[in-house]
């Protein structure tokens, strides 16, 4: 073959290859669904009691991540972290009282990135945390093409709308209602579903790609839900947490005194002692019943939304993401709500559906997402979708969704990224979709939580920035959870990890519930010294690697300071 023919042939091959690459990166729409305070209490995560058939159906056609962790177990900081793909130490948001663009850096958000690529971006319900944390605008117009929608009935959420045993209306924790008797005759998540359906219909024929984020309010408290969902969970079928007592080895700084629960009128009537309680067992069972019923109510709304996506012919061209902002304790360790570094507070569901990648026709149903009736007599059974057991973080959602939708992911952030508008502190998980699921002992998730003092007090769950004196930095690997509660300066945003106020070490193979703390404060320096020696146990080898990684400043800005 002559040289000129060779050149012509090479050019032809490159052109064909380039065309093939472009064809494979056709942009997809995105339906981004986020629940509020949802731990992995779902059938697809192995919960034997919960009824969540619509989310389970989505999971059967998705890649499901079984060990995803939030970066801070409270709404505002977690949502800002997820949507900017930056850690709380980079957004500098640990409470609800600052806007990252002013307080830390002008960081590009997930929807803003899609908007910059020509997508119509829309927000329904609770996506950003409302108020100061999103500039009283849900970050509009930066992140959204149209003003975000908030359901009108939400203004009644914390009012006295719960009928008590005395026949009067109260602001209760437990608040099952007859929807027809509620203000406006509806509930927030019902309104959000209707608005999301309207937007799907209106954008179908627009010719533009869309990014639609739908934030459901449940199972966040109060448990104001349609009363019929309680019938799915008879009280005699509910059980207490397997570890309902405060662990003896738990440092007092780590304890969450669940003050938001205590403020509800029905809980106040129980006259529970502060800070450790406990809540009477019969009321504990009712809380669990209402939480599960709230999950099922939210599942029904997800089912309506997915069925509409399918009915409109959009399921084949849309990436569907389902996740939550953080978990919620149901009595484990004597704790309730979020506000801690335990798995029950930081672990969340995460799944991605992509037609042709995570789900390939044919399947028995004519529809991709037929609506699953939770009150039907026939049990729902689904085949298992793809599963990923390795540890990952909510930070990873931004780059992963970008790739799945056909966009380039943001570049990794440098060590100091306060002046960088677009970058990610997470990782692209799309590469895991077609790989095997072997254990990655190097995978790690970092969470953190602030405290105002060494002992529980009224503002321990959500201290204002100016009151933070201690930061609990927590590492979660396949083998262990290791937490150090260290001194923190809110003026400089600096943690001093030589000023240790407490520590926790749980070896997960023998202690999956994290009830037996092996950390000993008197042996803290000895532990670090031992990690420098040879012949370590596998968990200790992994911990050593992670601490070296962190002190290099590449994973967590706070933990990069004066640790070893």
3-state SS of 434-492 is CCCCCCCCCCCEEEEEEECCCCCCCCCCCCCHHHCCEEEEEEECCCEEEEEEEEEECCC
Please report the DSSP string for 1-16 in residue order: --HHHHHHHHHHHHHH
Burial label for 172, CB within 10 Å (0-12, 13-18, 19+), is buried
Alpha carbon distance 473, 501 (integer Å): 12
DSSP 133: G
Both tokens assigned to 479: 């083998």
Strands 480-489 and 470-476 turn out to be antiparallel
Q: CB–CB of 30/319 below 8 Å?
A: yes
Q: CB–CB of 329/336 below 8 Å?
A: yes
> b/e per residue, 432-455, with b = 16+ CB within 10 A?
bbeeeeeeebebbbbbbbbbbbee
Strands 29-35 and 120-125 turn out to be unpaired
- The residue annotated as part of the active site, out of 44, 75, 162, 413, is 75
Alpha carbon distance 274, 382 (integer Å): 44
Please report the DSSP string for 301-318 in residue order: HHHHHHHHHHHTT-GGGE
Please report the DSSP string for 488-528 in residue order: EETTTTEEEEEEEEEEEEEETTT-TT-------GGGHHHHH
Both tokens assigned to 56: 């389970």
Q: How far is CA 30 from the centre of its chain?
A: 18
- The residue annotated as part of the active site, out of 66, 129, 217, 326, is 129
Cβ–Cβ contacts within 10 Å for residue 366, how many?
Answer: 8
Alpha-carbon dihedral 306, 312, 316, 318, rounded to 10 degrees? -60
| Beta-bridge partners for 472 | 449, 485
| Beta-bridge partners for 480 | 507
Work out the angle at residue 184's Cα, subtended by the Cα atoms of residues 181 and 188, and round it to the nearest 5 degrees. Answer: 100
Q: Coil, strand, or helix at residue 156?
A: helix
- Tell me if residue 535 is catalytic: no
Both tokens assigned to 400: 């992963």
- Tell me if residue 75 is catalytic: yes
Q: Coil, strand, or helix at residue 19?
A: helix
User: Which has the closest alpha carbon to 251: 558, 522, 539?
Assistant: 522
Q: What is the largest CA-CA distance in the chain?
A: 95
Q: How far apart are the first and last CA of the chain?
A: 63
Q: Which residues are catalytic?
A: 75, 129
């Amino acid at each position: 073959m002559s040289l000129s023919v060779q050149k012509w042939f090479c050019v032809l091959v490159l052109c064909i290859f380039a065309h093939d690459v472009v064809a494979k990166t056709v942009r997809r729409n995105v339906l981004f669904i986020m629940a509020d305070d949802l731990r992995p209490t779902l059938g697809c995560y192995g919960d034997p009691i919960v009824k969540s058939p619509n989310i389970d159906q989505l999971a059967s056609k998705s890649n499901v991540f079984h060990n995803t962790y939030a970066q801070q177990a409270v709404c505002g900081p977690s949502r800002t972290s997820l949507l900017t793909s930056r850690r709380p130490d980079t957004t500098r948001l640990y409470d609800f009282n600052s806007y990252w663009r002013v307080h830390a850096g002008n960081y590009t958000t997930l929807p803003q990135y899609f908007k910059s690529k020509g997508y119509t971006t829309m927000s329904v319900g609770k996506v950003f945390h409302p108020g100061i944390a999103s500039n009283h605008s849900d970050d509009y117009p930066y992140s959204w093409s149209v003003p975000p929608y908030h359901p009108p009935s939400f203004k009644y959420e914390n009012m006295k709308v719960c009928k008590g045993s005395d026949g009067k209306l109260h602001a209760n924790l437990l608040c099952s209602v007859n929807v027809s008797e509620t203000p406006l005759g509806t509930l927030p998540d019902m309104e959000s579903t209707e608005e999301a359906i309207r937007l799907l219909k209106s954008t179908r024929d627009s010719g533009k790609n869309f990014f639609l984020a739908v934030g459901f309010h449940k199972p966040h408290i109060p448990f104001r839900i349609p009363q019929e969902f309680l019938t799915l969970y008879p009280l005699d079928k509910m059980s207490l947490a397997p570890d309902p007592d405060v662990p003896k080895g738990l440092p007092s700084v780590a304890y969450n005194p669940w003050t938001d629960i205590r403020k509800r009128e029905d809980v106040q009537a129980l006259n529970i002692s502060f800070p450790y309680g406990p809540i009477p067992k019969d009321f504990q069972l009712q809380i669990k019943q209402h939480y599960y019923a709230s999950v099922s109510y939210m599942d029904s709304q997800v089912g309506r939304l997915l069925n509409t996506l399918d009915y409109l012919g959009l399921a084949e061209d849309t990436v569907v993401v389902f996740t939550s902002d953080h978990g919620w304790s149901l009595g484990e360790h004597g704790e309730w709500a979020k506000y801690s570094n335990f798995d029950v507070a930081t672990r969340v569901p995460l799944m991605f559906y992509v037609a042709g990648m995570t789900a390939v026709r044919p399947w028995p149903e004519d529809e991709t997402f037929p609506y699953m009736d939770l009150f039907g007599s026939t049990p729902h059974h689904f085949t298992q979708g793809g599963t990923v057991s390795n540890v990952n973080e909510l930070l990873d959602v931004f780059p992963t969704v970008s790739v799945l939708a056909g966009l380039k992911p943001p570049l990794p952030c440098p060590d100091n990224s306060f002046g960088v508008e677009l970058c990610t502190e997470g990782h692209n998980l799309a590469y895991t979709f077609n790989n095997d699921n072997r254990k990655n002992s190097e995978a790690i998730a970092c969470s953190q939580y602030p405290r105002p003092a060494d002992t529980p007090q009224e503002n321990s769950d959500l201290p204002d920035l100016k009151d933070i004196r201690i930061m609990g930095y927590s590492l979660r690997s396949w083998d262990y959870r290791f937490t150090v509660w260290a001194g923190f300066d809110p003026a400089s945003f600096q943690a001093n990890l030589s000023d240790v106020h407490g520590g926790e070490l749980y070896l997960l193979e023998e202690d999956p519930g994290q009830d037996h703390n092996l950390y000993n404060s008197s042996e803290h320096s000895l532990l670090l010294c031992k990690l420098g020696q040879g012949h370590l146990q596998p968990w200790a080898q992994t911990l050593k690697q992670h601490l070296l990684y962190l002190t290099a400043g590449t994973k967590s800005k706070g933990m990069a300071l004066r640790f070893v």
